Amino acid sequence: MTMNNANLSIEQIDALQEIVNIAMGQAGDSLARVLNSFVRLSVPRIRLINSAQASQCIAEIVGDTQQITAVRQSFYNKLCGEALTLFSSEGCRDLATLMGHQTLDTETEKELLFDISNILVGACLNGIAEQLGADLSFSAPSLMASNVVSSQLLSPDTLPWAYALQVEVNFSLEQHKFKSHLIIMLAEDAITALADSLNYFIEAI
Amino acid sequence: MATPVLVVDDSGMSRKLVIKSLPADWNVEIHQASNGQEALALYREGKAHVIFLDLTMPVMDGFEVLEALKREGFNAFVIVISADVQPKAQERVKELGAMAFLKKPVKADEVLHVLKEHGLL
């Protein structure tokens, strides 16, 4: 399969966008309960990227001079790929304060970021899988990079596929600097399975 | 006379789902908008006695629509239908004048219940 015929139809993208929207709403609600704050949600963005572009896409999403910390979780079964949760370094400090930590050692910060990643990735992926009637499992979070410049997070060989369907959702808090970008990359081989599931979903409406 | 109903959502599929969930015997004239700005334009033309409003939208979101409606005298019944299910989002839209809040994906019996509860049917 090439990148060109991996394109989803406008109707399929619209359905996926709405599915992600609902899943993101559930993730936002979970995050709001943990942080006891109102979470602002962005409109999900869906696009097809090749692995060479991936790094530039990340820089574009978070700002290219931004220092970020990234947590990675893989998901597998019929739908497979990688979910990255990105935090700005500034946002990490803010998160610590929000969670009631005066000072934060590296280990505690890591645990905190893993918790947030688990909440967002879990709610989003489960929400998407549930609506599409697909089974899905995901790995425990691992620290991908700590305080790196966003454009250096991914190199083409970090990703084991030529291209992927990228879904991006942003969570931010009012009156706080905390902001998190959730990036779900569906591997090229799973795009056909996704398209089939979307067709079932659309037919059922 | 048919009731002018406005369905506002950036997703065409989502608008379709809302329209399908309306009671079959409700005499309505349906208008659609894909963002808040288009919605306000239709409201000003008198095409929105009842508004089904999404919150997360590009250009102008649902909260901003409610604020604008408030400034313009709020001459419509607004039912918010949203994936943003935070209790605070629900509180906020009610404060801004929305009549009801329904979670996505919307269900026909919930729409029916809200319409009956507020004497729109």
Task: Name the residue ranges covered by the structural domains of chain A.
Answer: 7-204
- Do the chains contact at A29 and B85, CB–CB below 8 Å? yes
Confidence at residue A112, expressed as pLDDT on a 0 to 100 scale: 93
- Do the chains contact at B56 and A205, CB–CB below 8 Å? no
Sort A5 into a burial class: Cβ within 10 Å, 0-12 / 13-18 / 19+.
exposed
Contacts of A34 in chain B (CB under 8 A): none
What pLDDT digit, counting tens, does each position of B6-59 carry?
Answer: 999 999 999 999 999 999 999 999 999 999 999 999 999 999 999 999 999 999
- Do the chains contact at A29 and B20, CB–CB below 8 Å? no
CATH of domain A7-204: 3.40.1550.10
Mean per-residue pLDDT, A147-171: 87
What pLDDT digit, counting tens, does each position of A12-27 carry?
Answer: 999 999 999 999 999 9
Q: List all residues of chain B from 33 to 62 with a beta carbon under 8 Å from chain A.
A: 56-58
Mean per-residue pLDDT of chain A: 90
For residue B75 the two structure tokens come to 């001459």
Contacts of A201 in chain B (CB under 8 A): none
Which pLDDT band, with edges at 50, 70 and 90, does A151 fall under?
A: confident
Q: Which segments within A51-192 are labelled E, that is strand? A: 67-76, 81-88, 137-138, 142-149, 163-173, 179-187
Q: Does A16 touch chain B (CB under 8 A)?
A: no
Residue tagged 């608008």 (tokens): B15
DSSP character at residue A159: S
Q: Does B88 touch chain A (CB under 8 A)?
A: yes
CB B80 within 8 A of CB B101: yes
Q: Which of A14, A25, A42 sits opposite B83 (nearest CB)?
A: A25
- Do the chains contact at A28 and B57, CB–CB below 8 Å? no
Residue A22: closest CA among chain B residues belongs to which residue? B83
For residue A149 the two structure tokens come to 């410049």
DSSP character at residue B106: P
The answer to whether residue B118 scores a pLDDT higher than 90 is: yes
Interstrand relation of A163-173 and A137-138 (parallel, antiparallel or unpaired): unpaired
The answer to whether residue A7 scores a pLDDT higher than 90 is: no
Question: Which residues lie closer than 8 Å to B67 by C-beta, 6 or more apart?
Answer: B96
Which of A17-31, A86-100, B68-82 is predicted least confidently?
Answer: A86-100
The answer to whether residue A1 scores a pLDDT higher than 70 is: no
Helix, strand, coil tally for chain B in percent (to 5):
40, 20, 40
Residue B79 to residue A77: CA distance in whole angstroms: 38
- Do the chains contact at B83 and A14, CB–CB below 8 Å? no
Q: How far is the CA of A154 from the CAs of A27, A54, A57, B19, B117, in angstroms?
A: 25, 7, 10, 43, 54
Q: Which of B14, B20, B56 sits opposite A43 (nearest CB)?
A: B56
CB B42 within 8 A of CB B48: yes
Mean per-residue pLDDT, A142-160: 86
ipTM above 0.95, yes or no: no
- Do the chains contact at B11 and A18, CB–CB below 8 Å? yes
